[in-house]
Amino acid sequence: MSLSPDDPFAHERPIVLIASADGPTRIAVARAVARLGMTALIALDGETAMSAARDHDQTIIGAVLDAYLPTLSGWEVARALHSAVADLPLIVLEREGDRSHGRGHDHAYTVIFPADDLSGLADYLGCLAESLVA
C-alpha cells in the first residue's frame, strides 16, 4: 500500500482507497482521483485493502475496488467497509464480459466498463466522485 511517496502533502488531502491488481486500471483511477485534488491510497489485493482501511479509517472518504482482487474480492472488501462505515461511498469495478454481474452489494455502485476504455472509466469516475463529494 502506498500514499504517493513523492508527494509530501499527500496525507493532508482527502484519501480514496484504490484496490486493483490490474496496473492500467489502478493508474487510470489514481489519476482521476488526483485530478480531483485527492490522494490515492493504493492496494494490490483485498487483504492489503482491508489493512489500509484499518490504518486510515479516520481519513478515507471513499473506495474504488476491483471486483476480482486477489486474497479477498472487491465485493468482500466492500461488505467489510460498509459494515465499519455505513455511509462510505464505495465503487466496485467489473470489466465487460466478467461473470459476476449482478453479484453486487446493495451499498456499492457497480461500474461495468470496457477493458479497452480506461480513459472513459477515469472520466466517469471523476464525474461520479464529484457528485458524491458535492
Whole-model pTM: value is 0.76
Helix then strand count (H, E) for the chain reads 4, 5
Q: What is the pLDDT of residue 123?
A: 67
Where exactly are the structural domains of the chain?
10-129
Q: What is the DSSP letter of 96?
A: T
pLDDT tens column, 55-76: 988 889 889 999 889 999 998 9
Superfamily of domain 10-129: Response regulator (3.40.50.2300)
Nearest to 18 by CA among 89, 87, 84: 89
State yes or no: pLDDT of 2 exceeds 90: no
